[in-house]
Amino acid sequence: MYQRYSTSKIKNRKKSFIFCCNIFRISIALCIPILYKIYISEYIKSIFHVSFQIKFLENYIPYLKDVYSSLFNKYKLQIVIPLLMIYNYCNIYKTFILLISLQYPLILSQILNIYLINRINNKAEINNELIYTTGYTLILWEILFNSDTDEKIHYSIKSIDSIRKGPNINKFSLFLITIFISILHFINFILFNNIENILFDLIIGLTLYYIFFKIFELDPNNPRQFQNFVDFSLFYFILISFMINLFFIIFTINATNNYPNKEEIIQNIIYKYSFSSIIIGIFFGAKYEYNFYFEKRFGNWAQYNFEFDGEIAEEDESLASSISFNKARQWNHTNFCISLIRLFFIFLLSFTCLYPFLNITSDNFYQNLVVNNIIPWNILGFGLFHLFKLVLKYFKVTNMLLLTIIKERESF
């Protein structure tokens, strides 16, 4: 009895120690981009204050800036296209990780914007679109190529050949991703000459990747991790979301007290921050599907959303393994033609959720905030994690064989 008590006590102390270490590591990781932006970026800007342009492009720079702003800033194609592809072909947890990865840079950039407004009278601005480049791309790489590491516990059986080939594929894909990120940053540098923001994007992207996959050890193929999010208490989720948003609004109002254009700044910052409300729609959509549609039957829910059959999946799911394979292991595993049709439906449904609300304008800021941002993003989050699947099932562009298997299992 005493030995059992001592063992449990040691385990509790070990868990507490690991928790404290993780908090310390996260704090250090979060401080690096903040310290860089506050103390180092202006120094780098003064050193590299050089207007770099290619001569034969000088006449086209204004036009290229407009095209770049329209594609990447207004329509955010660098975010939308990969997100829709991942949702259409991969498990739902990977879509969740991608959407969550957008929250941290957004919140951090807005807090730094507030600080810099007070500190240097709005002379420094953070490019809110640029900060998605490195982190988002690295997370895409982890999801598509590097999600089967030996250090993590997986629901998978890997052959000797796949283990031997894995590291080489990972290194080559990382090399390609590095080139892709470099090209994007080079284009941005040619158009806007903002090297200090490019370095900030690199730092915040590497920080985000480190927190997600080295501290939290997220495993995109593990249904249990996503179930932990779905099973989280509804009351505490609403309470925590309310407290975080209230803190951010109060912080914004207090930090801009002495600034002439206080109302305009507050509205601009909160308007951009409102995208983070999509997490509420995601939570309700996933929770409703698990608790009511699948009646908390983990096996059926996991098989529907993951490559999961009972206790062990046959292989690690990735984008490449999902396209054009008709496998009865996941709701979006269909043949190539149906997958393309479903991709069109997903785009149409997403557009239907956002477009009507984005075109409603009002002189009242709070009405715009709720109608143009909070409502459509929450509808989109709920739709992606439950409602869209029902619509796709109705039009039979989902894995109907899998649904038949699940129904037969429930009948026994």
Tens of pLDDT, residues 345-392: 999 999 888 888 877 777 777 777 788 778 888 899 999 999 999 999
CA-nearest of 97, 105, 111 to 128 is 105
For residue 2, what are the CA distances in angstroms to 5, 7, 10, 12, 15?
5, 9, 12, 15, 20
The pLDDT of residue 291? 92
CA distance 74 to 85: 20
- Encoded tokens for 41: 């970026």
State CA 357 to chain mean position distance: 22
Q: Where are the domains of the chain?
A: 1-219, 222-305+323-412
- Written as tens digits, the pLDDT of the chain (412 aa) is 545 545 666 666 777 778 788 888 888 888 888 888 878 877 777 776 555 555 555 566 677 777 776 666 666 677 788 888 899 988 899 999 988 888 777 777 777 777 666 665 544 455 555 667 788 888 888 888 765 443 333 333 333 333 334 455 667 777 887 888 888 777 777 777 678 888 888 888 899 899 998 888 888 888 899 999 999 888 888 888 888 777 777 777 776 676 666 676 666 666 666 677 888 999 999 999 999 999 888 888 998 998 765 554 444 554 444 443 445 578 988 888 999 999 999 999 998 888 888 777 777 777 777 887 788 888 999 999 999 999 999 999 998 888 888 877 766 5
Q: Give pLDDT tens digits for 25-37.
A: 888 888 888 888 8
For residue 308, what are the CA distances in angstroms to 99, 146, 298, 382?
22, 19, 10, 23
Q: In the chain, pLDDT over 90 holds for what percent of residues?
A: 15
CA-nearest of 305, 378, 287, 393 to 346 is 393
Pair 244, 273: CB distance under 8 Å: no
The one-character DSSP state at 265 is H
- Encoded tokens for 372: 């143009």
DSSP 361-403: --S-HHHHIIIIIIHHHHHHHHIIIIIHHHHHHHTT-S-HHHH
The pLDDT of residue 190? 74
Q: How many residues does the chain have?
A: 412
Query: Which bin fits 121, alpha (ψ -120 to 50), beta or left (φ > 0)?
Result: left
CA distance 29 to 354: 34
Read off the pTM. 0.82
CA distance 328 to 398: 11
Task: Give the position of tokens 């190529």.
Answer: 145
The pLDDT of residue 176? 80
